[in-house]
Amino acid sequence: MRILITNDDSISSNQLLPLIRFCKTLGEVTVAVPKYEQSAKSHSIELHKPFSVEEQTLDGDVKAYVIGSSPADCVRLMVLGFGEKYDLVISGINLGFNMGTDMLYSGTVAAVREAGILGIPAIALSTNPENNEAVNELKQVFDYIKENKLLEIHTLYNINIPPEPKGIKITRQGGPYYSDNFVPEGKELYRASGICVYKKTDDLTIDSNAVMENYISILPITINMTAKDVFEKLQ
């Protein structure tokens, strides 16, 4: 299996090397990650100016490309620019949950959507910002994926891993998890200041509820933005 690893936390992410080492147990690994952090850059791509590409070697023998653009462009460059073929794209491990409507802002999840556009199965991985042990849960996650043939049923998943999980839940998208206040910082300057707006319910099929109750959330996602029920009604 040929695996492409990307992220939105950049080459500097402390989660990158542990993820590489885990993925080497699954197959042949290549890395393409942003040079600088791209959190909340969503599905942006660069069309108006060139960007840098630097080659490195990580963990002794893994070819890595450090790219001066977004996570989506990391995937696009490897496939459309270099003509590489992959069996799986893994994006993460993001330090910060990507749940509910917040997925729309996520560069981590956008890389998975880009892989889907290019016809490649892909998985986004995210965890709590303070959780440096999420990699230890990946064996059970990928065993679950294999045993339940998830990648045969569907090809794109968003996975959130809480600390010390007590199980795995298949989930659906919930509402907002974070929002922002905008704080003035001097003349004509404002800064977004994140606030949690999560509202708990007892429905563990919702991604944020499952994660807040310490379950790993595995959510199938799609790149098709058609409102199917409305389309059928308008027909």
Tokens, residue 194: 């994140």
Structural domains of the chain sorted by starting position, each given as residue range(s) with its CATH number in brackets: 2-171+202-224 (3.40.1210.10)
Per-residue model confidence (pLDDT) at position 154: 98
Which pLDDT score is estimated for 16? 98
Alpha-carbon torsion 77, 46, 16, 107, what sign? Answer: negative
Strand ranges across the sheet with 168-170: 53-58, 62-67, 28-34, 2-6, 88-95, 122-127, 156-161, 216-220, 168-170
pLDDT band at 11 (very low <50, low <70, confident <90, very high): very high
Backbone angles phi, psi at 136, to 5 degrees: -70, -15
Distance between CA atoms of residues 145 and 196, nearest Å: 30
What's the pLDDT score for residue 13?
97
- Band (59; pLDDT cuts 50, 70, 90): very high
The mean pLDDT value for 200-207 works out to 96
The predicted-structure confidence for 81-111, as pLDDT tens digits, reads as follows: 999 999 999 999 999 999 999 999 999 999 9
* Coil, strand or helix at 30: strand
State how far the Cα of 166 lies from the Cα of 187, in Å rounded to an integer.
Answer: 49
The reported pLDDT for the residue numbered 182 is: 95
For residue 83, the model assigns a pLDDT of 98
Rounded-to-integer distance, Cα 144 and Cα 116, Å:
21
Mean pLDDT of 180-185: 94
- Looking at every residue in the chain, the average pLDDT score rounds to 97
pLDDT at residue 63, as a whole number: 98
Q: Is residue 111 within 8 Å of 74, Cβ to Cβ?
A: yes
pLDDT in tens, 107-158: 999 999 999 999 999 999 999 999 999 999 999 999 999 999 999 999 999 9
**What is the pLDDT at residue 143?**
98
What pLDDT score was predicted for residue 40?
92
pLDDT of residue 190: 95
User: What digits encode the pLDDT tens for the residues 184-202?
Assistant: 998 899 999 999 999 999 9
Question: Which of 135, 155, 127 lies closest to 21, judged by CA?
Answer: 135
Cα 193–Cα 181–Cα 131 angle in degrees, nearest 5: 40
| pTM given for the model | 0.96
At residue 70 the predicted structure's pLDDT band, cuts being 50, 70 and 90, is very high
